[in-house]
Amino acid sequence: MAYLEITLSVDPVNRPAAAAVYEKYKQQFLDGVSGATSKALLIRDEDVQVLHGFRSVTDARAYLDSELFTQDVVSELGAAAVDRP
């Protein structure tokens, strides 16, 4: 089992848009990403975290290079006005 945690600094006013990106791609991630086992969203006062579960570290690394992550998720988060430190 391997976990990939992605933490984003998101202005509170933009957190609903960031959460919508999470919801939009959650099932596609679970159904289509090799080795994916879980995905959870944590919205905290200081940031937004997404915890991805995988069968292996190799699967987690492959996801970071996937079109789903690099083109879909990352570009939509940018469009959702995510603040980057």
Average pLDDT over residues 18-43: 93
Contacts of range 20-25, beta carbons closer than 8 Å, 24 or more positions apart:
20/80, 21/73, 21/76, 21/77, 21/80, 22/50, 24/76, 25/68, 25/72, 25/73, 25/76
Per-residue pLDDT tens digits for 18-29:
888 889 999 999
Residue 23, classed as helix, strand or coil, is helix
Q: How high is the pLDDT of residue 85?
A: 45
63-78 pLDDT tens trace = 999 999 888 887 787 7
Q: pLDDT at position 80, please?
A: 63
Average pLDDT in the 48-59 region? Answer: 95
Cα separation, 43 vs 21, whole angstroms:
13
- Total-model pTM: 0.83
Which domains, ranges and CATH numbers included, belong to the chain? Answer: 2-79 (3.30.70.1090)
| pLDDT above 80 (res 43) | yes
Residue 26 to residues 44, 58, 85, Cα–Cα distance (Å): 19, 20, 25
Interval 8-21 mean pLDDT: 86
